[in-house]
A and B are shown apart, each in its own frame.
Chain A
Amino acid sequence: MTKLTELTLAEARDGLVKGDFTSRELTEQYLANMEQGRELNSYIVETADIALDMADKADGMIRGGNATGMTGIPIAVKDLYCTKDVHSCSASHILNGFKPKYESTVTANLWQDGAVMLGKTNMDEFAMGSSNETSYYGPTLNPWRAAKENGEQETKNYVPGGSSGGSVAAVAGGLAIAATGTDTGGSIRQPAAFTGLVGFKPTYGRCSRWGMIAFASSLDQAGPITKTVRDAAIMMESMASYDVKDSTSVERTVPNYEHALTGDVRGLKIGIPKEYRMDGMPEEIETLWQQGIAWMKAAGAEIIDISLPHTKYALPTYYIVAPAEASSNLARYDGVKYGLRVEGDSLDGMYKNTRAEGFGHEVKRRILIGTYVLSAGYYDAYYLKAQKIRTLIAQDFAKAYEKVDVILTPTAPSAAFALGEKSDDPIAMYLNDIFTVPASLSGLPAISVPAGLSKDAMPLGLQIIGRAFDEETVLRAAHALEHAASFTTKPKVWWGEK
C-alpha cells in the first residue's frame, strides 16, 4: 500500500470522500513525518493539537456529505499569514511573540473549506530573500541534495529557495500535502523550481491580502505550493476570493480551476521571449527551455517568438519599488503595538533600539534603500523613474498578449545552490528572481512546473506567464507541460532516523 503521505492532494481528496481513510489518519501520518523531518527546519511552529481538532471537524464534514476540494487536507501555512492565536511573525524577531487576534482571509477561506493546519513555515524575514537564509529562525534546508560525479549524494546542504523556503521544503520533504506561499518577486515560483514542485502566483487582486503581513503591497500576492498542477488548481480555488477588507482585491467570480485542465493545448499560442536568454546562463537551463518548447509544440501548441524589450530593467526597477514600499510598510514596527520592544532614553531612542535589534541585516538594508529612494530630492530620480519603467514593462506584456496566449520561460537562472554560497553578495542573490520579477511587476499570473534535473540531479522548473485573470489558460498550459515532462523524481531521504 502507498503511504498516505505520498498521495497528491487530489488523490487524498478522492480517498477521503470514498472513505478509504480519514483526515485524522492522514493528519497523524503527516505529524509523524514532521517530527522525523525537524532537521529540515521547515516549520517554525507545529500545531499538532489544532491539526487534529481540524481533522476531526473535517471528517464530520465528509461524513455529512459536505466535503469540498480541501476538506481534510493537511497543509502548512507560511508564517507571513496571520492565524488567530498562533505564532505569526513573518520570521522576524521584531514581531517576537506576536499571536494575532484575527485570521487572514486566505487562511479563513481554507479553514472554511475544511483544510487542516499542520503549522507555520519558515521563510526569509518579511519575505526578503531568495534562499530562506535571512530568517530569524535559521535557514531551512532543501530536502534535495545534489549528486556527486560518482553518483553518490552530497553531504552538504542546499537552500530551498525563498522566500517561501519552509513551505516548499515541507511539501518536498513529505511534511505537508501542500502549503500556502506568498510571491512578491518570485517567492513562490523560484522555491518551487528549487524543490521539484508546482508554485502558482495568481493575478494581483485574485486573493485578498488582508491578514498577510505586508512587504511590498503593490506586488504581494498569495498562492499555493503543491505537488501537481491539479493540486494547485484545487487549492487556488479555495484561496481566491473578493474581499471588502482589501480594496485591491478584485470582484470577479472564481472559476472552477480544475475544469480548466482539459489536457488540450492544440492551437494555443505560446510566446518565447528572446530577452530571457541571458548572458552567462547555464547551458542546462537553455536546454531545458528548448525541451519545454519542443514538448508544447508536440502537444499541438503554436510557438511564436516574441520580444519583451524592457526585461533587463525589471530587476533594478523591482529593487527600487519593493524596498520603497517595504520602508513604508515596516514603519509600523515601533515597539508600541506588538512584538519586540527595546527601551531607550527617549521615545525616538526606543524606536531606534527596537528596530536595530528587531530587524535582520537584509531587512535593514532594504529599509535604508527604500527610505533613500523616497527621500526629498531623490524621489523623482529613483521612485518615479522606476514606476515609469514599470509601466513600460507592463506594456511589453500587453503587446505580446496581442499575439500569444501564454509565455514560456525558465523559472530561475540556476538550480538550488549550496547554503551560504550567495549570502555575502546581495546582487548575486537578487539575480535569482530575474525571470520571475517581470510578471510580478505587471501583476500577471505565473506558475512554475517541475520539468527536469540539472547535471548534478537537482530539480529545475519552467514558468508559464498568462494574461491578467486568465489563470485558467495558465493552468491548462501548465498541466500539458507537466504531462509532457512527467517529472516523478523525489528527493532521497537523508534526514531524520535512517
Chain B
Amino acid sequence: MSVDKKTVAKIADLARIAVGEDELEPLVGELNNILDWIEQLSEVNTDGVAPMTSVVAVDLPWRTDKVTDGGYRDELLANAPNSEHGFFTVPKVIE
C-alpha cells in the first residue's frame, strides 16, 4: 500500500496540521519509504493470534465512581495562551 498527494492532504487534515502544497510531494516520498519498509509485516502469519492489549499481565484496577480530586480552575488556566472570565477562549465558532 502507498499514499499519494491526495491521501497525504487528507491525513494532514484529519491530524489538523497545515501542510503547504509544496510540502506534499516530499511527504509522499517520505511516508511511502516508511510504509514500504513496514510492508514486510505482511509476510508474518498472524492467523488465530490475539492482538496485544496489555503488555504486562495485570487486571486494570477498579475504584468507586466518585469525585476524589479537583477544584484547580486557576491552575488549569495558568498555562492557557488565552483565557477570559475563568474559561479557555477559542476563535468564534458560531455565526
Contacts and interface: CB of A to CB of B under 8 A. Distances in A.
B46 A385 contact: yes
Q: Which 3 residue pairs spanning A and B have beta carbons closest together?
A: A387-B51, A443-B55, A341-B81
B16 interface: yes
B41 interface: yes
B91 A344 contact: yes
B38 A384 contact: no
A247 B60 contact: yes
Interface in B15-65: 15-19, 27, 30-31, 33-35, 37-38, 40-42, 44, 46, 49-53, 55-58, 60-61, 63
A217 to B, nearest CB: 10
Contact of A368 (B8, B55, B79): B8
A268 B56 CA distance: 24
Contacts of B11: 368, 371-372, 375
Given A98-B79, A100-B79, A388-B50, A371 B72 contact: no
Contacts of A427: 33-34, 37
A218 B55 contact: yes
A455 to B, nearest CB: 30
Given A250-B56, A388-B52, 16 more contacts: A99-B78, A100-B79, A251-B61, A336-B82, A337-B88, A341-B82, A344-B91, A352-B17, A352-B18, A365-B30, A365-B34, A368-B17, A371-B14, A371-B15, A389-B46, A426-B33
A386 B90 CA distance: 38
Contact of B15 (A347, A368, A441): A368
A320 B38 contact: yes
A316 B51 contact: no
Contacts of B75: 101-102
A346 B91 contact: yes
Interface string A321-346: 00000010001001111111101101
A265 to B, nearest CB: 25
A320 B31 CA distance: 12
Interface of A: 97-102, 203-205, 218-219, 244, 247-248, 250-251, 310, 312-313, 316-317, 319-320, 327, 331, 334-341, 343-344, 346-353, 355-356, 359, 364-365, 367-369, 371-372, 375, 378, 381-382, 384-392, 394, 426-427, 441-443, 468-469
B17 A355 contact: yes
14 contacts: A335-B81, A336-B80, A337-B80, A341-B81, A347-B91, A347-B93, A364-B17, A368-B17, A385-B41, A388-B46, A388-B50, A391-B49, A426-B30, A443-B56
A338 B61 CA distance: 30
Contact of B16 (A205, A250, A348): A348
A247 B78 CA distance: 27
Contacts of A218: 55
A372 B49 contact: no
B27 A313 contact: no
B56 A204 contact: yes
A135 B37 CA distance: 25
Given A218-B55, A313-B41, A337-B88, A351 B16 contact: yes
A389 B41 contact: yes
Given A337-B88, A347-B91, A359 B17 contact: yes
Contacts of A391: 49-52
A381 B79 contact: no
B33 to A, nearest CB: 7
A365 to B, nearest CB: 6
Interface string B68-95: 0000100110111110000010110100
B67 interface: no
A250 B58 contact: yes
Contact of B17 (A204, A350, A356): A356
Contact of A316 (B12, B40, B58): B40
A350 B90 contact: yes
Nearest to B42: A385
A429 to B, nearest CB: 11
A456 B29 CA distance: 35
Contacts of B27: 365, 368
B56 A468 contact: yes
A251 B61 CA distance: 9
A404 to B, nearest CB: 19
Nearest to A443: B55
Contacts of A387: 51-53
A392 to B, nearest CB: 6
Contacts of A250: 56, 58
